[in-house]
A and B are shown apart, each in its own frame.
Chain A
Amino acid sequence: LAKTTQPISMDSYEGQEVNITCSHNNIATNDYITWYQQFPSQGPRFIIQGYKTKVTNEVASLFIPADRKSSTLSLPRVSLSDTAVYYCLVGPHSGTGGFKTIFGAGTRLFVKA
């Protein structure tokens, strides 16, 4: 499984755009990139998933360059409630081989007023 590297922590202010970059140099051909958000005392919650180029949903965008060795989660106009830990996961989607996923330490985002 591809190992991921993220910044340990980031600070931001309300209303700003936040970009969290994840490095995954050993990503395999059939690996997808998935981001989760976790609040204290809660289980992780899915944010966004992609394979290549750009993916956008109602809460975030995911930018993946052509070589797929990194990805960037973009959170537009963050609010205090976006303070959480964000995890980048890289792993295969295999119906027969299993769905092993590895959560790293994540990035602790702290949004200030």
Chain B
Amino acid sequence: DGGITQSPKYLFRKEGQNVTLSCEQNLNHDAMYWYRQDPGQGLRLIYYSQIVNDFQKGDIAEGYSVSREKKESFPLTVTSAQKNPTAFYLCASSPDSEKLFFGSGTQLSVL
């Protein structure tokens, strides 16, 4: 069953803690993206990767980090430097950097 899998669906972070959101795709897409969505807002780009072992900052990269060691995987770490991490996080992939395919999202909340 092809697609993009994000886990976990819900995640809670304690103050000062780093947490990692998982994104895996079996679509053989080269490009992968992380977006943040706040209630009633559009999506904002955090990081993107066009190829393995390479990634670029988006509009709101501060307080986040990523890695792209495998084509299928693009994990996002929300660090303690991100002071307002509560949001809905969406991972996407694309075969051509045009049409995007999204995962089902991870809701991150602060305890």
Chains A and B come from one and the same complex: no
A residues with a Cβ closer than 8 A to B are: none
B residues with a Cβ closer than 8 A to A are: none
